[in-house]
């Protein structure tokens, strides 16, 4: 067995061991907080399950279910992803009997497209400690897992390999081949078959591109992959961020097919730009895109992938260029090697430097330390990639420091350098393929370090001799936890009589409220409540009373008006389809056929893509009920009208105070909802309450009141129901 096959076999063996060693790994989308908390024991049935994740989720493919002690799913529960905060998923619940319950969730990341699953347990009423412990153990106490999919790794490897060639080949032609060939006598450099190499790149990228969609659709529905005609494929393709990026990549691949092969400078420049754009679509589905502040990580990931393409794709182009000179005279081959080596080094060395810089930056974000490098699946694959990269670097250094001077010494030495270079390029090509396989694994595995923190808003302020930091978690309309840290120039504040927070809406119309904060540590005070009841700008004023000193007042401005806009992926996907149609038309127009042949070949796919784009554009779903805005101001008159309507129509089931204990409540299973919890701001929007009053609650005995109350009366009812909420100060 020769040296090159042995090296490739060793690399394949090492990667195979890694594949076998990591069949199940920790999750990508990490739940950073849940309500109820894992293993909590609640006195009363919660109005909903709430989970905050580290990444935004896809609606329709993310879900929560609650199982009772017998393993049966609770009926009538409705799960949804918050449109204002896509990292928040909730499950609306009906009344629950005392017992132990298990929450089972699935999350499809809208950023990197990975599916994660997990469970946790909680209890309502008097809980059997043993049953709760058993449920918690079965759910791994809230742990989440995902499965390593070989099909996904293969798809990503094919895409990465094809993209590397689509970047490296045109740059090699532009910066290495054309300048080197121009220095030789005419006919001494036989042009390689660049179109064939471009076709080979497309034959790698296209199957990986198609397989990525089928794997993604399969994972979203719990399978290894989906068949092209499965309904999940259409849902993923036309209604998710992944589908938009996939269609955009499709348009770029069609454009690359339409472009002339990179044999001349102008054609190589256009092909390079299209290849770089294609690589950017791969970065849009990477771990970097999932970072909270994604601009810099995303840019670094793109540069890293471009540098890898310049180096590894350039090596492939170099090998093809040398292979094309097999029939050339020895002197011609020697001269060409002497011209190519230094020019390739001029692009390879900066590419390697950029790989090192961006790689270290990414490792700091997603590994963090030596312990994670050795103790996690992600770290071990990264270590294997670094070893392969080191071998590639050693061969590159040998080519630069040994073969380049040898080729420049004389024609005979140049011929010998050409022979050695052909062998080293084969080894480098195999190692490069193994490196790209590691890249496919790394983009499939979760990072060793997930930069996920519980959602909160932090603000700083000062008053007199005090410095304040106020944290509001999760920082949205409804129940929040307020934590105030106060310190003097000499350290934490110790002697405090009382700490209050005053909440004043900037828009007016709602009176200010005040809550007391309790000391939890030296200089740290905390409290919880639903004081932030409206999605508007608020002023929070901290009041600190100390013996023998004037009260200290510190103001904080908090804006809860959602800045998140609803992204309608169907419309963006329609635009990507139109781009694909334009690229297809450009490709047909470039084909050297008669006008009739071009129309015959180009019209069907172009018209099909245009029609598909129009259909997808028009298939925008109606807005969610929570997007409805209450047009009736919450005044005393409105609340009085709502109270009368409630007493006439609802109190018989829900009770006069809305506790779900009306005279007829005992005849229903499950019991009517306890509105004192469901009316708390932030649990349900006014639009959701209005929808249930209008159409009834799905799966429950509650009827719709559309035919009994007009629209204004239903909104008055919403305003009254809000007054049934739990006391704003929640212990």
Cis peptide before 655 (omega within 30 of 0): no
- Residues 268 and 261: their CA atoms lie apart, in Å, by 7
**Fold of the domain built from segment(s) 626-722:** Cytochrome Bc1 Complex; Chain D, domain 2 (1.10.760)
- Residues 244 and 591: their CA atoms lie apart, in Å, by 28
CATH number for the domain running over 24-147: 2.60.40.1220
Question: Which three-class secondary structure state does DSSP give residue 373?
Answer: helix
Q: With contact defined as beta carbons under 8 Å apart, do 180 and 340 qualify?
A: yes
Say if strands 524-532 and 466-473 run parallel, antiparallel, or are unpaired.
unpaired
- Residues 69 and 380: their CA atoms lie apart, in Å, by 40
- Residues 65 and 335: their CA atoms lie apart, in Å, by 70
- Residues 198 and 194: their CA atoms lie apart, in Å, by 6
Which residue pairs from 14-20 have beta carbons closer than 8 angstroms and sit at least 24 positions apart in sequence?
14/384, 15/384, 15/434, 15/437, 15/438, 15/441, 18/377, 18/380, 18/381, 18/384, 18/441, 19/148, 19/150, 19/153, 19/441
Q: What is the SS3 string spanning 572-589?
A: HHHHHHHHHHHHHHHHHH
Domain residue ranges in the chain? 24-147, 149-444, 457-559, 569-618, 626-722
What is residue 402's DSSP assignment?
A: I
Instruction: Report which of 445, 372, 370, 391 is spatially closest to residue 26, judged by C-alpha positions.
Output: 445
Kindly write down the DSSP assignment for every residue of 608-639, as one continuous string: HHHHHHHHHHH-PPPPPGGG----S---HHHH
Q: What is the pLDDT of residues 205-254, one digit of tens each?
A: 999 999 988 888 888 777 777 888 888 888 888 888 888 888 889 888 88
Kindly write down the DSSP assignment for every residue of 137-168, as one continuous string: HHTGGG-EEEE--HHHHHHHHHHHHHHHHHHH
Q: What is the pLDDT of residues 262-273, one digit of tens each?
A: 888 888 898 999
- Residues 153 and 155: their CA atoms lie apart, in Å, by 5
Q: With contact defined as beta carbons under 8 Å apart, do 577 and 607 qualify?
A: no
Distance of CA 674 to the CA centre of its chain: 36
Residues of the chain with pLDDT under 50: 1-27, 141-142, 727-731
Instruction: Report which of 693, 731, 711, 729 is spatially closest to residue 533, judged by C-alpha positions.
Output: 729
pLDDT the model gives residue 730: 37
**Fold of the domain built from segment(s) 457-559:** Immunoglobulin-like (2.60.40)
Q: What is the pLDDT of residues 441-482, one digit of tens each?
A: 777 777 766 666 667 788 998 888 888 899 998 888 878 889
Instruction: Report which of 50, 56, 152 is spatially closest to residue 105, judged by C-alpha positions.
Output: 50
Say if strands 40-42 and 115-124 run parallel, antiparallel, or are unpaired.
parallel
pLDDT the model gives residue 189: 64
- Residues 137 and 255: their CA atoms lie apart, in Å, by 53
pLDDT the model gives residue 725: 79
Q: How many CA atoms lie within 13 A of 487 on its CB side?
A: 9
- Residues 536 and 533: their CA atoms lie apart, in Å, by 9
What is residue 287's DSSP assignment?
A: G
Kindly write down the DSSP assignment for every residue of 632-678, as one continuous string: S---HHHHHHHHHHHHHHTHHHH-TTSSS--TTGGGSSSPPP-HHHH
Distance of CA 64 to the CA centre of its chain: 19
- Residues 292 and 279: their CA atoms lie apart, in Å, by 21
- Taking the alpha carbons of 292, 295, 298, 304 in that order, is the dihedral positive or negative? negative
Domains 457-559 and 626-722 share a fold: no
- Residues 492 and 187: their CA atoms lie apart, in Å, by 82
Q: With contact defined as beta carbons under 8 Å apart, do 337 and 421 qualify?
A: yes
C-alpha distances (whole Å) from 156 to each of 207, 286, 431 are 10, 11, 17
Query: What residues contact 692, with CB distance under 8 A and at least 6 apart?
Result: 702
- What is the pTM (predicted TM-score) of this model? 0.76
pLDDT the model gives residue 83: 76
């Amino acid at each position: 067995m020769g040296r090159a096959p042995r090296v490739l076999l060793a690399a394949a063996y090492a990667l195979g061991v890694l594949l076998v060693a990591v069949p199940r790994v920790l999750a990508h989308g990490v739940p950073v907080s849940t309500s109820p908390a894992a293993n909590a024991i609640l006195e009363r049935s919660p109005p909903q399950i709430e989970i905050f994740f580290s990444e935004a989720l896809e609606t329709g493919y993310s879900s929560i279910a609650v199982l009772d002690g017998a393993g049966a799913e609770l009926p009538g529960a409705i799960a949804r992803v918050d449109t204002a905060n896509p990292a928040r998923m909730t499950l609306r619940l009906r009344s629950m009997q005392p017992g132990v319950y298990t929450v089972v969730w699935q999350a499809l990341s809208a950023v990197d497209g990975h599916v994660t699953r997990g469970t946790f347990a909680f209890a309502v009423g008097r809980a059997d400690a043993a049953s709760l412990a058993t449920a918690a153990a079965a759910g791994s106490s809230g742990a989440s897992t995902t499965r390593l999919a070989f099909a996904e790794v293969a798809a990503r490897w094919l895409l990465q390999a094809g993209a590397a060639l689509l970047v490296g080949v045109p740059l090699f032609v532009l910066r290495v081949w054309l300048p080197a060939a121009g220095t030789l006598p005419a006919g001494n450099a036989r042009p390689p078959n660049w179109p064939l190499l471009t076709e080979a790149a497309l034959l790698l990228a296209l199957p990986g591109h198609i397989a990525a969609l089928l794997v993604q659709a399969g994972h979203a529905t719990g399978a290894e992959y989906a068949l092209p005609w499965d309904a999940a494929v259409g849902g993923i393709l036309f209604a998710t961020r992944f589908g938009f990026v996939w269609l955009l990549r499709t348009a770029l691949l069609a454009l690359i097919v339409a472009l002339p092969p990179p044999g001349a400078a102008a054609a190589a420049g256009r092909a390079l730009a299209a290849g770089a754009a294609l690589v950017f679509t791969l970065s849009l589905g990477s771990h970097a895109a999932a970072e909270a502040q994604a601009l810099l990580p995303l840019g670094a990931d793109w540069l890293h992938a471009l540098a890898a393409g310049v180096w590894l794709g350039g090596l492939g182009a170099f090998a093809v260029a040398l292979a094309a000179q097999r029939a050339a005279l020895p002197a011609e081959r020697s001269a060409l090697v002497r011209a190519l080596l230094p020019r390739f080094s001029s692009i390879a060395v900066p590419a390697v430097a950029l790989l090192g810089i961006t790689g270290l930056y990414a490792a700091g974000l997603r590994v963090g330390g030596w312990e994670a490098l050795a103790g996690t699946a992600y770290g071990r694959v990264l270590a294997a990639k670094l070893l392969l990269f080191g071998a590639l670097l050693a061969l590159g250094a040998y080519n630069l420091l040994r073969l380049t001077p040898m080729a420049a010494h004389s024609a005979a030495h140049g011929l010998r350098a050409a022979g050695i270079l052909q062998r080293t390029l084969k080894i480098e090509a195999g190692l490069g393929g193994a490196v790209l396989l590691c890249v496919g694994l790394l983009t499939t595995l979760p990072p060793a370090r997930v930069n996920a923190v519980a959602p909160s808003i932090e603000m700083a302020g000062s008053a007199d001799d005090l410095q304040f930091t106020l944290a509001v978690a999760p920082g949205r309309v409804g129940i929040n936890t307020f934590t105030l840290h106060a310190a003097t120039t000499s350290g934490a504040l110790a002697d405090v009589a009382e700490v209050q927070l005053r909440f004043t809406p900037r828009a007016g119309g709602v009176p200010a409220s005040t809550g007391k904060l309790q000391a939890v540590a030296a200089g740290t005070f905390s409290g919880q409540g639903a004081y932030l009841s409206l999605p508007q700008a608020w002023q929070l004023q901290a009041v600190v009373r100390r013996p023998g000193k004037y009260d200290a007042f510190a103001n904080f401005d908090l804006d809860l008006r959602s800045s998140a806009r609803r992204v309608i992926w169907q419309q963006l996907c329609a635009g990507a389809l139109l781009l694909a149609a334009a690229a297809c038309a450009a490709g047909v127009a470039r084909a050297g056929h008669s006008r009739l042949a071009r129309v015959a070949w180009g019209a069907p796919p172009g018209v099909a893509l245009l029609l598909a784009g129009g259909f997808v554009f028009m298939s925008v779903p109606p807005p969610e009920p929570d997007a409805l805005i209450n047009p009736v101001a919450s005044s005393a008159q409105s609340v009085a009208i709502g109270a009368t309507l409630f007493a006439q129509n609802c109190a018989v089931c829900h009770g006069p105070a809305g506790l779900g204990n009306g005279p007829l409540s005992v005849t229903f299973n499950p019991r009517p909802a306890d509105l004192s919890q469901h009316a708390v701001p932030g649990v349900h929007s006014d639009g959701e309450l209005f929808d249930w009053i209008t159409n009834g609650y799905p799966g429950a005995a509650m009827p719709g009141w559309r035919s009994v109350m007009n629209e204004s009366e239903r909104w008055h009812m919403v305003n009254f129901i809000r007054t049934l909420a739990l006391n704003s100060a929640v212990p």
